[in-house]
């Protein structure tokens, strides 16, 4: 299938674009274009195009608006040290998009089409990559059920799209440590549910817990398992790692209830290559508190495409708060972040073939 280029409006003027790129924040500054591919049971994948970013017409009976059959991805395009542009492990996002699609009874977009849609959009809009430290083009591929039908069944039609957004740091204040609230009432996922899929519904269900975290003066929510309400799972939009005084690292295992993060996988790979002992194992919230108090646990951090590697300084529970490493970013956390970012930006050797140059 060939992509057509069908702009239907004027791009933003260069001086206006420069203004918007000064302090873009996260997810508010969008580029000039977007990618679209349609799917129907009758025609398969068809009508691939890059077009001007604009509102889309939707029938109010489009089934995504009623039954939330929707999935998405998150990835970044970076400006490399030598002036080139690259995506980081986009093949992994393509495969996770297929995994999410299967779980949500949606058609699987071939990896080649996923990659081509993202590559074409980045090439078209690469002037929107901010030059600032930490700046990147955040890509948001997503797909939703577009059949006009109110019966509950997998849609016979879908629209796949990619948006691009110029971003800086996800958290205000960059890499200073964040605080997290341990959700008491609300859980994110149970065995057999959709926790390992990147579907919009998971995020809708997390919003009340995230709102509670904010009202408790925290930056993010962390979820516990749905059965024992004891085992740490992940944050609303990030995986979590623990660093111990013996220099080892642990993170919850992929048991089907957490998102298999690509940043998580990259950190495990880099840490193992550096000779760090890493464990994928359950870690209980009461253990976390005890280990932080005894000094056995010295650092904790959250990781994801948007958040990169963000130190966790404070953990809040109804019975009180505890801090980790005096609430300051830890040395291992910063080392891991720096080694990951150096590869993503073309400043360190790419031993694993993760940097996908455009």
Binding site for ligand COI (CB under 6 A): 74, 237, 304-306
179 versus 305: smaller Cβ distance to ligand COI? 305
**Contact between 237 and ligand PLP per CB under 6 A:** yes
Q: How many residues bind ligand PLP (CB under 6 A)?
A: 12
Q: Which of residues 154-183 bind ligand PLP (CB under 6 A)?
A: none
Q: Which of residues 249-288 bind ligand PLP (CB under 6 A)?
A: 259, 261-264
Q: Which residues lie closer than 8 Å to 228 by C-beta, 6 or more apart?
A: none
Residue 140 exposed, middle or buried by CB count within 10 Å (0-12, 13-18, 19+) = middle
Q: Given candidates 24, 74, 325, 346, which one binds ligand PLP under the rule CB under 6 A? A: 74
**Contact between 291 and ligand PLP per CB under 6 A:** no
Which of the stretches 37-45, 110-118, 209-217, 237-245 binds ligand PLP when contact is defined by CB under 6 A? 237-245
Which of the stretches 38-46, 114-122, 236-244, 247-255 binds ligand PLP when contact is defined by CB under 6 A? 236-244
Q: Which ranges constitute the DSSP H helices of 225-308? A: 262-273, 285-294
Least distance to ligand PLP, CB of residue 319, Å: 26
237 versus 346: smaller Cβ distance to ligand PLP? 237
Q: Which residues lie closer than 8 Å to 261 by C-beta, 6 or more apart?
A: 234, 238, 239, 303, 304
Least distance to ligand PLP, CB of residue 61, Å: 29
Length of the chain counted residue by residue: 358
When CB distances to ligand COI are compared, the closest residue is 74
* CA pair distance 18, 128, nearest whole angstrom: 8
104 versus 259: smaller Cβ distance to ligand PLP? 259
Which of the stretches 10-18, 41-49, 235-243, 245-253 binds ligand PLP when contact is defined by CB under 6 A? 235-243
* CA pair distance 75, 182, nearest whole angstrom: 27
261 versus 329: smaller Cβ distance to ligand PLP? 261
Least distance to ligand PLP, CB of residue 122, Å: 17
Least distance to ligand PLP, CB of residue 223, Å: 9
74 versus 107: smaller Cβ distance to ligand PLP? 74
207: tokens are 């919003």
Q: Which residues bind ligand PLP (CB under 6 A)?
A: 74, 234, 237-239, 259, 261-264, 304-305
């Amino acid at each position: 299938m060939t992509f057509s280029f069908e702009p239907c409006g004027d791009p933003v003027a260069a001086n206006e674009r420069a203004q918007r790129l000064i302090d873009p924040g996260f997810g508010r500054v969008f580029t000039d274009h977007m990618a679209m591919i349609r799917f129907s049971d009758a025609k398969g994948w068809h009508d691939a195009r890059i077009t001007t970013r604009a509102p889309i017409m939707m029938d109010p009976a489009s089934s995504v608006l009623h039954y939330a059959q929707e999935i998405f991805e998150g990835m970044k395009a970076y400006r490399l040290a030598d002036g080139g542009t690259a995506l980081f492990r986009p093949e992994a996002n393509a495969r996770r998009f297929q995994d999410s699609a299967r779980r949500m009874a949606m058609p699987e977009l071939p990896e080649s089409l996923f990659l081509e849609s993202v590559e074409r959009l980045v090439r078209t809009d690469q002037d929107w990559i901010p030059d600032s430290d930490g700046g990147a083009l955040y890509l948001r591929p997503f797909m939703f059920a577009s059949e006009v039908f109110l019966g509950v069944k997998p849609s016979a039609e879908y629209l796949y799209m990619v948006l691009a957004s110029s971003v800086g740091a996800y958290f205000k204040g960059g890499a200073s440590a964040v605080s997290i609230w341990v959700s008491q009432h609300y859980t994110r996922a149970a065995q057999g549910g959709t926790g390992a899929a990147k579907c919009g519904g998971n995020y809708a269900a997390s919003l009340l817990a995230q709102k509670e975290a904010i009202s408790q003066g925290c930056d993010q929510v962390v979820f516990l398992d749905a059965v024992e309400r004891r085992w740490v799972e992940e944050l609303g939009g990030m995986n979590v790692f623990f660093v111990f005084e013996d220099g080892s690292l642990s993170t919850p295992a992929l048991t089907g209830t957490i998102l298999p993060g690509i940043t998580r996988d990259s950190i495990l790979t880099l840490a193992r290559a550096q000779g760090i002992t890493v464990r994928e194992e359950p870690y209980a919230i009461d253990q976390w508190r005890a280990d932080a108090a005894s000094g056995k646990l010295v650092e904790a951090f959250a990781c994801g495409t948007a958040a990169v590697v963000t130190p966790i300084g404070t953990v809040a529970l109804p019975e009180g708060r505890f801090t980790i490493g005096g609430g300051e970013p830890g040395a291992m956390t910063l080392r891991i972040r720096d080694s990951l970012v150096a590869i993503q930006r073309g400043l360190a050797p790419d031993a694993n073939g993760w940097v996908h140059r455009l």
